[in-house]
Structure 1
Amino acid sequence: MFFDVAHQSYVPGLVGLDHVVEGNSKLQATQSVAQVAAPAVGGALLRVVSAPGLVAVTVVTYALSALGVGRIAAREDLPPREDRRPLRTEIAEGLRFVLHQPLLRRIVATTSISNFGSAATAAVLAIYALRVLGLDTATFGVVVSASAVGGLAGAFAADRLARLVGGSRVIPLSALLFGVAGLATPLAGVLPRHAAPVLVAGMAIMFVGIVVYNVTQVSFRQRLCPPALLGRMNASVRFLVWGSMPLGSLLGGWLGHTTSVVTTLWVAAGIGLVATLPVVASPLLRSRDLPPAPVHGTPRG
């Protein structure tokens, strides 16, 4: 959590506000490559090392990551200690900024509601695939990998799409894409003979939309926010958009237990469609480009 908030706040200072979409796209691309490659590498390593040994390998990769980040040469000037205010005041200022910005408030609403529905889906997805659809574990692995491949495609396409369609307009359009694609998950149960292809295609397309949306809306936030508030803004957004996920998981588990797994997935897909409304019914769809980058100093947030 600390790393995610810090790295989203640090990127504008490293690449400049005019290049944040490209920078965020490249970060998402490396993450998606790792998500595609890691399961295969892990499976191969398990043939030659024990499970505890594989965990040790993972620890080494974290250490290498820390070493790589530590070698960033950019200088960052921290605010003087005497200028720092009580934590409660800092948190309140970050939340006020998020809630008082109309477009940012809509993006947060879409992301939070979407995460709520996605968490409900995740709570029953494995049961749905393995028990209801009757997929074997290898096919389910392909379904999971499809989402990572879709994320990789979205990461490579995000910067180009923002230039082609417009950085502002691509936010609601990508939200619509992942909202509609989410219907493929319960739809696979209606088409049992084609369940696996429908599920794979739906997951891949959905994650194209999710990653394009994430790249563009994070870039929008970074351009909009004053540098000194970046850390508090990103922390506030994380709190609001991830705070809904435990509630979504609880809903998914409860609905799956009291109704059925398929009903749960249709409800979650409906929530995903509703989640698109705040950004679709906003000025983002009617304007092409993100607002111009304000003139700020080096980010400190």
Structure 2
Amino acid sequence: MHTLWKGSISFGLVNVPVKMHAATDSRDFQFNYLHKECKHRIRSVKKCPTCDIELGMDDLVKGYEYEKDRYVVLSDEDIASLEQPMSRSIDILDFINLSEIDPIYYQKSYYLSPEETALKAYRLLTQSMEESGKVALARVTMRSKQHLACLRVFDKCLVMETMYYPKEIRHMDVAWDRVDPTEVELTMARQLIDNLARPFEPEKYHDELYEQTTRLIESKIAGETYTAEAPVKGGKVVDLMEALRASIALTENEKDSMSSGQTQVLEAGSGGNPTDKPKSTLTPRKRAPRRAKEA
């Protein structure tokens, strides 16, 4: 697995050297712009609208717009001077309960694996965190930005979730909080939620748009036509109580169908479903990973 960053986890006087790896992978298709006539890929050109000349990377500087069309220029040296002295350290600040962190704070997930010299210390940290039921709130600097982060155990590995700071979270005016549903409406809504409640099985969820895009591209490559399935449109909600009753009736029927379906599967054994569609072998091209900077 490609290493994005090298550093160490520090808490108290304990220091655990680790490597960072991407924990997720974008499944988006990357499309290129082509010339309509010859089908060759066009290139992006950086051009100054004032000087009317094409520019290279050496001609560019970083600027911050502090007023409309007014910029202050920051050099690489200016930015480097702000680099934190502990930029290669993931500093644990506190151990807290995972349930206390709302998912809105999470940005991106990274795996942390131990260096060869830190296997025991890494195992000690993961096992003690797992047994305590706690996660670690930490601070780390990456790419000249200081992040708040959450360290937790997943599949025997440490996962680091970079987080937004509280000031980066927007808050809405919840005008609907002043509307009070009736007790009957609340009872029916709770029943509908109970009917739809399931254990979390991540494998059963899939990206339908990604799958349809895959089939579209494969059809184009093969010179065939492909018609996407039309999405099912929901009915117009005229009366809230009527919509709740209809939804509860529908989910009750689905629960009965699921129960009978599970019984049939158990009776039929573990045979495959003959109507299952074959899985596509088409995968989006991955972007070339950035090389890890030297510590």
Shorter-chain TM-score category?
under 0.3
- TM-score, length-scaled by structure 1: 0.22
- Structure richer in helix, relative to its length: 1
Relative contact order: is structure 1 or structure 2 higher (C-alpha 8 Å, sep ≥ 6)?
1
- Structure richer in strand, relative to its length: 2
